[in-house]
A and B are shown apart, each in its own frame.
Chain A
């Protein structure tokens, strides 16, 4: 019998996850994986936080725990704690029951569920995403049925924010259009607006009647402070308006593969939030019925226990500090080598990624000659660096930049 799928061609590798695939195939002893944004220790190893291991043990040893289905919207306790984490303990929006929250599969799942809800219920089906943005954003929103446009964000000449372009593009958006905002540690550029710039963005979005959708994948991971990294989101919520928030615990709790996240929708009123919640269930049920139990249980255990919460903050700050230190070391190394160009963006940018400004030819050169793996847009994951590998990377960058083409 012929297959109904006989004509199917192989899909291209995912540009981000494909980097690790290529890295794994490379036999070189000096190979370096600066592709996917997963934290690595100084020794280049993945890290499971101590507090996560503790939480895991508590769960395993608790014989009373069962594996029943979670409700469609997930673990209620986790949802409350998650909303508090991003909005602040004393958030009026939470106290007034105006926040609808669903546990979802990490950041991706939260974005997808939010987007499907919007495609179904929102009068304006266009979403504006920054240029550039995480590669998967376009696919998530398109699959959900939204139409995707971009707004100016990154300025390659300054390797900083193209603020004027951002204001112009959002200023021209139709009322009701959705705006994707990276809450902190913009991926892939590491370029974040200042507090003053955020305030201007907020005013523009509110005056134009646009709907903000925050992607918060790095809370606590960017500056080392959970509250500081949540400030842009809280500014928007403080003005009483509505917004969407996708949270991920992949990086800041190291729960990557457990797929822990939450979608929160801040509404004008409690009865609206309640109806919105009921409609979220209709999006989730035909997708996967209810979310996975394990990771959210770990996160919840940590968030609700003040000792464990404090332990978590300490471990989180240590990860953030190590990355900040890697930035400094790379910058110093390039400065010492006299590598042509201004490399200050390495220490100005924030979060896991640096947008080096290297072009795809230079990236290909670095992969071929120095066995350095990164995405072709020149993005490197600082988390993949260590004190011992910074020199090798600096050599590679220097060679790529100075070689005659």
Chain B
């Protein structure tokens, strides 16, 4: 009946619609996707009207007033850039200037490896984009290999290698009992992995735990990785942000370079230059010689071309303007230290408050851990209570973004944590 009525309407129409209106959607069986565990937290936070709410979810730096920060060096760089350049396509490998300066940060200002042109490097879409390019590259050129990912890690690491269709395994990393590094188990996993496996290492300020190996431990990790001929891939998203000193934060990488590894590195300027939304980063792969570096770079470009053709220019210009000007670079280093110091200060304050409240638990891991995140050790149920009763937003693995802690909210936060853990 309905169809006949509808059809008779069609007959009046001089250009009858063919087919379209009576087809159901192609996407009727598409399921609603689960929210991203990290980014979904901020969405929920924004929707909460409560005035005491705190966002210690996503790892984006906030000042002591809880406000996002645009660094002075960045503002100045933008003033210089605006109106001065064209907006032509960058090459597929991105801004050569930006990449050169970025390599110096990771490999060392006077690195022989840079001089010898042994590093294949391309501008990438922040850390995510760098990891994804490496994962796609691994799939294409080492299709038999697996990636070993620490437990726990940034949740998106799993998504990246999965979408690149690289088989993944995990290695022991975090030791819940000590809230520190499970070093012996980690070394075992390195030894037991098939030769030539890829190992994802957090160069500093491990996300989400904040637990980093000591220098001695890094040397041993390097040794065992070398023995097995594994490929060491460093995700360095927090250089400068961990200790306040970029050179110090790159120590793990320098140890591996001294040991002769041919490493890969993903670098991001999201946090340490506050360029989050600009998506600026770099993927580098150390090769045997210049010829190989040229070949590898060309292949990385082949992976970028069908993904986005060439990377965005604006953020890259900001970076190269800052790093290419000695005064601006000095200003940047100062501003990075301020951010790192504020976070270290908040760690001390949070721990101090919890101890003052008479918490029965040990909270020394808050100050032992480093970088933006604190792995509190709270359970998902405790986190849910924090959210539901106290309007505190964080990921359910108990990870607290210390950047979201301020002198204004640290007492409230400490009290809330104490309330949900005191009977643990």
- Listed in ascending order, the chain A residues whose CB lies under 8 Å from chain B are 1-11, 14, 17, 36, 38, 46-48, 52-53, 56-57, 60, 65-72, 105-106, 108-109, 112, 116, 121-123, 136, 139-140, 142-144, 176, 199, 202-203, 206-207, 209, 211, 239-242, 250, 254-259, 265, 267-269, 272, 274-276, 278-279, 281-283, 285-295
Contacts and interface: CB of A to CB of B under 8 A. Distances in A.
Contacts of B30: 121, 272, 275-276, 279
A287 B307 contact: yes
24 contacts: A1-B226, A3-B288, A5-B141, A5-B287, A48-B87, A68-B68, A68-B276, A69-B277, A106-B308, A123-B26, A139-B305, A209-B19, A239-B21, A240-B17, A250-B89, A257-B87, A258-B87, A259-B310, A265-B27, A282-B159, A287-B132, A288-B126, A288-B129, A294-B315
Nearest to B230: A4
Given A4-B196, A10-B294, A112-B308, A286 B156 contact: yes
A70 B42 CA distance: 12
Contacts of A46: 86-88
B128 A105 contact: no
B397 interface: no
Nearest to B74: A67
Contacts of A267: 25, 27
Nearest to A7: B141
Contacts of B125: 105, 287-289, 292
A384 to B, nearest CB: 13
Interface stretch (B32-40, B208-216, B238-246): B32-40
A158 to B, nearest CB: 28
Given A5-B285, A57-B82, A275 B27 contact: yes
A66 B70 contact: yes
B305 A60 contact: no
A72 B83 contact: no
Contacts of B90: 257
A257 B156 contact: no
A257 B90 CA distance: 6
Contact of B278 (A7, A282, A294): A294
A142 B79 CA distance: 41
Given A10-B298, A52-B87, A56-B82, A206 B308 contact: no
A292 to B, nearest CB: 4
A158 B295 CA distance: 42
A67 B129 contact: no
Contacts of A66: 68-70
B36 A293 contact: no
Contacts of B145: 4
A5 B279 contact: no
A123 B26 CA distance: 9
Given A239-B21, A267-B25, A259 B128 contact: no
B291 to A, nearest CB: 8
A36 B89 contact: yes
A300 to B, nearest CB: 13
Interface string B78-121: 11001100111111100000000000000000000000000000
Contact of B275 (A67, A136, A285): A67
Nearest to B21: A240
B371 interface: no
Nearest to A123: B26
Nearest to B36: A285
Given A254-B87, A279-B33, A241 B307 contact: no
A288 B128 contact: yes
A230 B295 CA distance: 42
Contacts of B132: 286-288
Interface in B10-45: 15, 17-21, 23-28, 30-33, 35-36, 39
Contacts of B89: 17, 36, 38, 250, 256-257
A256 B156 contact: no
A388 B236 CA distance: 51
B288 A108 contact: no
Contacts of A282: 33, 159
B308 A241 contact: no
Interface string B294-326: 111011011101111111111100000000000
Q: Do most interface residues of chain B lie in helix, strand or loop, or is the interface mixed?
A: loop
Contacts of A123: 26
Given A6-B292, A69-B58, A239-B17, A287 B25 contact: no
B162 interface: yes
Given A4-B262, A203-B18, A259-B312, A69 B276 contact: yes
A276 B25 CA distance: 11
Contacts of A276: 27, 30
Nearest to A280: B33
B231 interface: yes
A235 B324 CA distance: 51
B92 A17 contact: yes
Contacts of B141: 4-5, 7-8
Most buried by B among A109, A123, A207, A257: A257
A11 B302 contact: yes
Contact of B39 (A36, A71, A143): A71
Nearest to A237: B20
B294 A241 contact: no
B294 A287 contact: no
Given A209-B19, A294-B312, A17 B91 contact: yes
Contacts of A5: 141-142, 262, 285, 287, 292, 296
Nearest to A53: B83
B278 A72 contact: no
A241 to B, nearest CB: 3
Pairs of residues from A and B, 4 with the lowest C-beta to C-beta distance, nearest first: A241-B20, A293-B277, A257-B313, A288-B125
A207 B18 contact: yes
B240 to A, nearest CB: 17
A278 B33 contact: yes
B274 interface: yes
A31 to B, nearest CB: 17
Contact of A287 (B26, B58, B87, B128): B128
B88 A257 contact: yes
Contacts of B292: 3, 5-6, 8
Nearest to A121: B30
A258 B79 CA distance: 17
A239 B20 contact: yes
Contacts of B305: 14, 17, 108, 136, 139
Contacts of B262: 1-5
Nearest to A107: B309
Given A108-B307, A279-B30, A286-B128, A255 B19 contact: no
Contacts of B60: 68-69
Most buried by B among A9, A69, A72: A69
Contact of B88 (A8, A241, A256): A256
B129 to A, nearest CB: 4
B220 to A, nearest CB: 17
Nearest to A108: B309
A14 B24 CA distance: 41
A112 B306 contact: yes
A122 B298 contact: no
Contact of A242 (B26, B226, B309): B26
B260 interface: yes
Contacts of A139: 305-306
A258 B288 contact: no
B345 interface: no
